[in-house]
Structure 1
Amino acid sequence: MAGLRNRPEWQFFAVLPKADPVLATAWWLLLLLRGALPAVFAIAMGWLIGAVQHHDELAGPLTLMGTTFILLQVLTPVHQAVSANLGSRVAAWLNDELARACVEPPGIGHLEDPELMEDLTVAREFDRGQTGPPMYMNVDFTATSLVEMVGGIAAAVVLFGFSWWAPLVLVVAWSATHWLLRESGVWRDRNTSEVRSAQRHADYAYQLAVEPGAAKELRLFGLAGWAVERFTERRRRLFELQYQATRLRERPMIWSLLIVAVANGVVFWALGSAAVGGSLALDRLVVFAQVAVGVSSIAFGGLNWVLDGAAAPVVAVRKLKPAMAPAGALSDGAGPAWSGGGSSRGPVEIRIRELSFSYPRSERPVFDGLDLTIPAGSSLAVVGQNGAGKTTLAKLLCRLYDPGSGSIEVDGVDLRNLDVDGWRSRVAAVFQDFLRLELSLRDNVAPGGAPEADIVAALADAGAGDLADLETRLATGYEGGTDLSGGQWQRVALARALCAVRQGAGLVLLDEPTAQLDVRGEAAIFDRILTATRGVTTILVSHRFSTVRHADRICVLEHGRVVELGSHDELMALRGRYRTMFDLQAQRFTAEVDEEGMSYDTL
C-alpha cells in the first residue's frame, strides 16, 4: 500500500477530494455513470431487437434507449464543466501548498538550494501551459480517458452473460497493452533530469522573449532573433527527448497487436458459432458483440499520457513540501525576542565570532573564521570585491540562514537563541532586490501599519516626500495607479526601513540601498539616513566610497575575512586595500564640476 500511495497516479487522485470534496464526488459519480451508459445502451439495443422479433411492446426498450442516449449527450458537457472547475480548484490547492511550502520555513535556504530548483520550476509553471496543459484541461482529459476505462470494464461485466471466459480473455489481452507499451519506454525516461533541464532552458528563453524586463536590451543589442532561435532550439530539443521517451517501440507494438488480434478472434468466433448453432439469439448476439467491442476501451491509450502530465506537478509540489521544510529550517530560538536589560528598543551590539558559512550544496565557504564587532549605536560600512560576502553577511544578520559554525551575538546572546520573529521585528533592511508591492504608497512604506506621521516623516527622510499621495497605488495596472522610476522605488524602500526605525528597530541593514541614484543624490540621502538613524546600529553595504566614508568605521572584506577595519581617515592613512579601491574610484571625479556645472564635493 505504501508503494501504491507513492505512485504519481495515486497522488493525483488523492489531491482531488482535498481540493474540493463536493466537486470531486460529483466528478467520480458522473464518470462512473458515463462509463456505464454505453453498456446500458447495448442492452437497450438488444432489448429493442428482441421486442421487434417477438412483436412485444416497444415502449420500454425505446424509453431506455432514448433516456440513455439523452444522458450520454447531456452528461458529457456537464462532466466537462465539473472537470474544468475541479481542475481549477486543484490548481489553486497546489499553488496554495507551494506558497506555504515556500514561505513557512523561517530561512531561505530552500529557495536557493540548486537540488530543489527543477521540482520548483515544474511546480511553479505547471498551470501556465509551458510544462504541459493547464490543470483544468488535465482533469477533463483524465475524465474522458477514465470514462473509456470504466466503459470497458462495464462491457466486460455484461459479456459474462455470454460466458465466463470471454471477458477474461479480452480483459487480459487489452490489459497486456499497458504492460507491453509501458515497458517500451513510454514513461521510463519522461521525467529524467535531462528532460527537466531542457524544459527549464526552454522556459528561460521563452521568458526572455515575452517579459518586458529584457525587452530593451534584447532590441538594443540585436538579441531578439537570438532569443526566439534559442527558444525554438531548446523547445525542439525538449520535444525530441519527450518523443524518445514516449515513442512506441516496434517489438512491443507487434506483440500487442498479435495478442489483441488472437483474443478478439477467439471471442468473436465463439459468438458467431453460438449464433449459427442457434444457442445465441439475435438480440443477445447484438448485445454481446457490442460489449465485446467495448472492452477495447481499457487498452493502453490517452489515460497513460494524461496522468503522466497531470501527476507531475502534484508529485513536484508534494515532494517539495517535506524537502523545503528542513532546507529552510533554522534552529529553534528558545531565548527572548530581544536582549539588553529587557528593553525591546534601542541600538544593539553585534559581535561575530569565528563565523563560517557556505551556501547549500556549495563546497566553497563564503566566510571562514570571520571576526567582527559592531558597537551599539555605531555605523559600519562594509566594502569588498564582488563575492566577498557582503550580502551574505546581511542575510545572516537578518537570520535568513544560520551559521555553519561560530556565532553571531546580539548584546551577548547568540542570535540562534533569540526568537526569530521577535528579532526580525527589531531589524530594518533594504536589499538590492528590494520589495515592490502593488499596493498604496502607505502600505509600501509600512506594510504592517504605522502612524501616518511616522510614514510621512520616513518618506521625507528618504527624499520621497513628494512622490505621490499616500493612498496612490504604485502600479499602473490599477485605476489611478502610478509607476515609479528605479531611483524613486529605492527611496520608497529606504522610507520603509526608516519607518521601521521609528517603530523601534535597533539594527538597520542597507545593502546597496541607493545604487540607482547618482553620486551626489546618494551622498545626500545617506547623510539623511545617518541623521534619521542616529543612535541606531547601522550597517551599510555599498560600492560607492563617497557614501561609505561617512560611516563611523569601514570594514574591508576579502576571502571571507576582515582584512582592514577603521575610519575613513585611518584606512586612507594605512594605504592598504581600502586606499587602493578608493583612489581607483576617485579617478572618475578629477574634474571640478560636472556637465551641469555642479561641483563634485562628495569625495
Structure 2
Amino acid sequence: MHPLHREAAVIAAIRRRQELVLFAFLTRTHLRLGIAWWCLIASRGALPAVLAVLTGRLVGMLDVGRSYLGPLAALGVAFVLVQLLAPVHAQVSSSLGERMSDRLQDALAGASTEPPALAHLESRELTERLTLAKDFDQGMSGPPMVIAIGLIAGGLVEAAAGLAQAVVLLSYSWWAALLLTSAWLSTHWLLRESGSWDRTEEEVLAAQREADYSYRLAVAAPAAKELRIFGLSEWTVARFTAHRRKLGDLRGQATRLRRRPVRWAVLVLLAANGLLFWSLAQRATAGDLSVGRAAMFAQAALGVSAVAFGGINWALPPTAESVATALALRESMAEVGRLPSGTKAAAGLPAARIRLRGVEFRYPGSTGPVLDGVDLTIEAGTSLAVVGVNGAGKTTLAKLLCRLHDPTGGAIEVDGTDLREFDLEAWRGQVAAVFQDFLRYHLPLRDNVAPLGADDNVVEDVLREAGGLGLAPLDTVLAREYEGGTELSGGQWQRVAIARALAAVRSGAGLVILDEPTAQLDVRGEAEIFGCLLRATRGVTTLLISHRFSTVRQADRICVLEQGRIVELGSHAELMAAHGRYHDLYTLQASRFDEPAADGIESADGTEPADRTESSDGTEPADGLVPATRSAGSTQDDHGQEVRP
C-alpha cells in the first residue's frame, strides 16, 4: 500500500472510532453547550493541580514564617470554584444529554421513515441494530443519555485532573511525571477487558430484544386486556426482569475485574508510587527539597491517580456505541430501503390496465419465493378480488402494486409502462389503500380522514359513504389521552380507515387496494360498506383482499393465489361452476351454513341465494352465510362444528 493511502486509511479508522463520533456529535448538537461542557472539563481538571500548587506555597510560607494570607485566600477561592463548578457542569451535562437524546430520536425516526421501501424495516440485522441504538434512551444495558453525559464528564474531569497534576510533577523531575503517569495509565491496558462489552454478540442481542419486547408488552395499552384476562401480568414482568438480569449478567461476565490483571496492576502501582515517594523522602531529608515543595509534589503525586481506569470506562463505551450505531443506521437503512424513482408522470393512471408479467418476489433470507411467476391483467375501472390461504402472497402482491417493494423478477406494467419508470411519489399519489394494520392517528377525526387536508364537506361525504358519519365531531381527537378526546371501537376505526381511502379517491387516486378492509365489521356492516365501496370506486381500479367469500363474490373477477401462483381466475359464477380450488374454499367456509344453491349462482327461484341473515338468537353469523340446519339431536362444539351424539 502506498504510504499516503496507508496514512489516509489510518485517519479514516481514527475518525470511525465510536468515542470520536460521540464527541463530534456532542458538539454538533448544541455548539454553545458543547463548548461550555469542554471548558468546564478543562477548568475542573486544572483546579486540583492549582490546589496542589497553592497548598505547597501555603505550607512553604508557614515554614519560613511569612504571611500566608494571600496563598490562603487563593486556596479558598480555588476550593469554592471546585464546589461551584461541579453542579454547573452537572446541569450543562443534563441539558446537553437531553438535546442529544432528541437529536438521536430524530435521526432514528428519519432513518426508519425516509427510505421509500420497506426492506430496511423487515431486515432482522437492521432491526436488531435499531434496538441496540435505542438503548441510549431506554437504559437497558447502559445509563440513559441524560445521565451518561454527566458520568462521562466526570470521568474526563478525573483524567484531566490527573494529567494536570502530572504536569506539576514535571517541575520535580521528568522521570517522576512519566513514571507515575505511565503506571496509572497502564491500568487501562491491564484492565481493558473490564471496560469493553461486545453488545453485537447474538446472545446479547437476543436478551436485549426479549427485554425490549417484554417491556413494550408491559406498558402498551393494546396488550393490557389479554395480559389481565389470561393472568399474564406477572409473567410479563418476570420475563422482562429475567432478560434484563441476563443483560446485566452478560455485562458482568464481560467486564468483571480478572484476578491476574488486578494483581499486575497493583504491583505496577506499588512499585511506581513507592519509588517516587522514596525519592521525595530522600531529597526532603537531605534538605534538597523544601517542606512546601515536598507537600506540593506529594499532593500532585496522589492526584495523578485520577487518570487510572475508572468511571469513564463504564459509561463511555455503551454510550458511544449507541450514538455511533444510531448515526450509522441512517446510511445503512437508506441503502437497504433504497427504491429508485423514475421520472414519468402518473396522473390519471391506470387508464387502460395493470399487467403483471412473470412477477416473482423473494424476501431477503427466505428459503423460497413468496410470488412465483405471477401473470395477471387488471383492467382499469374493474374490481379484482384476491383470495387464498394465509401465506399465499396476497399482501405481498398489494405491497408490490403500492411499490413498497420492487419485484425480484418479472415486471409490473401500468398502461404498458414499467411501474419503476414512474416517479415514485407521483405513482403513490395514484394509490389509496386500507391495510389490515391501518394506523389510528392521535389526531382529530378530520385529520384521520384527510391527513393532508380536505374541505369539511368532502370529509363528511366520505365518512357518510363509509358509514362513519356521526362517529364524533370533526374536531374531536381520537384518543382518550387528550382533553375532550374519545376512543372508537375496532369497527368504527375501520370505517375511518375506509373513509381515508375514499378521500384519496376524491383527490384523484386511480387504484384502490383493500387488504381485509372489513375484518372488524359485523356482517351487516360488511355488506353495507363493501357495497358502498364498489359504488364509490366505480370507474376506479379496485383490488380487494379478503377471507370472506360473501364479500369477494361481488367483485368483477376473483383470483385464487396458492403458494405464490395463480391457480384460478374468473368471476364467482365461473369459478363455482368449475368446481376447482375456489369452489373448495368457498364450500369449506360455507360448510356450517345453509346455501340454497351449492354453486352460489342462482337458487331455484332464479334469485341470488341469501347469504346474510340472523341466527336463531337474533345475531348474525360471523361469515355472513346462512347457518345450516343442524341434524336432529346434534350439537355444536366451541368452533361451531356439528357434533352428533
The TM-score with structure 1 as length reference comes to 0.96
The alpha-carbon distance between structure 1 residues 353 and 4, as it changes in their structure 2 partners (threshold 3 A), is same
The 2-side partners of 1:337 and 1:193 are apart by 46
Alignment partner of 1:538 out of 537, 542, 546: 542
- Give the 3-state SS of the residue equivalent to 2:433 in structure 1: strand
User: 2:385 corresponds to which residue?
Assistant: 381
For residues 582 and 135 of structure 1, what CA distance do their matches in structure 2 show?
A: 57
Aligned runs of 1:89-100 on 2, under 5 Å? 89-100=99-110
Residue 454 in 1 paired to residue 432 in 2? no
Secondary structure of the residue that 1:527 maps to in structure 2? Answer: helix
Amino acid at match of 1:597: G
Identify unmatched segments of 5+ residues in structure 1: none
What's 1:126 paired with? Answer: 136
Q: CA, structure 1 residues 598+48, in 2 after alignment: closer, same or farther (shift >3 Å)?
A: closer
Equivalenced residue count is 597
Partner residue in 2 for 1:597? 618
Provide, for residues 92-117 of structure 1, a one-character-per-residue CA deviation record: whole Å limited to 9, x for no partner.
11111111111111111111111112
Aligned residue identity for 2:47: L
1:102 corresponds to which of 103, 108, 112: 112
- Cα deviations by residue, 1:467-501 (Å, 9 ceiling, x for unpaired): 01111111111111111111111111100000110
Which residue of the other structure, out of 186, 193, 196, is the alignment partner of 1:176? 186
What residue is the counterpart of 1:115 in the other structure? 125
Deviation at 1:213, TM superposition (A): 1.8
Show structure 1 runs of 4+ deviating over 6 A: 598-601
1:277/1:324 CA distance change after superposition, 3 Å: same
* CA displacement 1:155-180 (0-9 Å, x = unmatched): 00001111110010011111111111
The 2-side partners of 1:446 and 1:384 are apart by: 32
Distance 1:599 1:174, change over 3 A: closer
- After superposition, the C-alpha distances for 1:339-382 in whole angstroms (9 at most, x for unaligned) are xxxx5367552100011111123232111111111000000011
* Aligned amino acid, residue 30 of structure 1: L
Range 218-227 or range 94-103, more displaced: 218-227
Letter aligned with residue 531 of structure 2: D
Residue pairs, 1:251-266, within 5 angstroms: 251-266=260-275
Inter-partner Cα distance in structure 1 for 2:195 and 2:67: 52
Contact 2:142 2:315 in 1 (8 A): no
Q: Are 2:248 and 1:227 equivalent residues in the alignment?
A: no
Alignment partners' CA distance in 1, 2:174 and 2:335: 55
Determine the C-alpha separation between the residues in 2 that align with 1:256 and 1:409.
Answer: 70
User: Which position in structure 2 is the counterpart of 1:319?
Assistant: 328
Q: 1:498 aligns with which of 489, 493, 502?
A: 502
Whole-Å separation in 1 of the counterparts to 2:159 and 2:616: 77
Structure-2 separation of matches of 1:190 and 1:521: 51
Larger RCO: 1 or 2 (CA < 8 Å, sep 6+): 1
CA distance in structure 2 between the partners assigned to 1:76 and 1:286 by the alignment: 26
* 2:72 aligned with 1:72: no
Which one of 509, 515, 521 corresponds to residue 511 of structure 1? 515
CA apart distance, 1:458: 0.6
- How far off is 1:50 after superposition? 1.8
Cα distance change of structure 1 residues 240 and 46 upon mapping to structure 2, 3 Å threshold: same
TM-score scaled by length of structure 2: 0.90
Deviations 1:201-220 (A, max 9, x none): 12212222332222222222
1:364-379 correspondence runs (5 A): 364-379=368-383
Contact residue 347 and residue 535 of structure 1 kept, 8 A: no
**Matched letter for residue 205 of structure 2:** R
Displacement of 1:10 in angstroms is: 1.3
Cα RMSD for the two superposed structures: 1.6
The whole-number CA distance in structure 2 between the counterparts of 1:233 and 1:599 is: 46
Equivalent in the alignment of 1:63:
73
Any idea what SS the aligned residue of 2:14 has?
A: helix
Structure 1 partner of 2:481: 477
Task: Summarize the Cα distance change of 1:104–1:576 in structure 2 as closer, same or farther, 3 Å threshold.
Answer: same
Instruction: Provide the C-alpha distance between the structure 1 equivalents of 2:466 and 2:140, rounded to a whole number of angstroms.
Output: 42
Deviation at 1:58, TM superposition (A): 2.4
* Cα displacement string for residues 35-93 of structure 1 (whole angstroms, at most 9, x for unaligned residues): 11011011111111222222333232122111111111111110000000101111111
Q: What is the one-letter code of the residue matched to 1:413?
A: T
Does the residue aligned with 1:583 lie in a helix, a strand or coil?
A: helix
| Amino acid aligned to 1:265 | G
Distance 2:113 2:237 in 1: 34
Extract unaligned runs of 5+ from structure 2: 1-10, 596-612, 626-645
Aligned-pair CA distance for 1:438: 0.8
Q: Percent identity?
A: 56
Describe the SS at the equivalent of 2:470: coil
Contact 2:380 2:541 in 1 (8 A): yes
1:528-579: CA deviations, max 9, x gaps? 0000000000001111111111100011101111101111111111111111
Q: CA deviation at 1:595?
A: 4.5
More moved, 54-63 vs 78-87: 54-63
Q: State the alpha-carbon separation in 1 of the partners of residues 349 and 420 from structure 2.
A: 19
Once residues 135 and 585 of structure 2 are traced to their aligned partners in structure 1, the CA distance between those partners, rounded to angstroms, is: 44
Amino acid at match of 2:230: F
Q: State whether residues 350 and 414 of structure 2, in contact with CA within 8 Å, keep that contact through their aligned partners in structure 1.
A: no
Q: After TM superposition, give the deviation of residue 125 of structure 1 in Å.
A: 4.1
Alignment partner of 1:374: what SS? Answer: strand
Which of residues 157, 160, 180 is equivalent to 1:147?
157
In 1, Cα distance between equivalents of 2:620 and 2:46:
87
Indicate which of 330, 333, 338 corresponds to 2:339. Answer: 330
Structure 1's 262 and 224: CA in aligned 2 closer, same or farther, altered over 3 A? same
Instruction: Name the structure 2 match of 1:437.
Output: 441
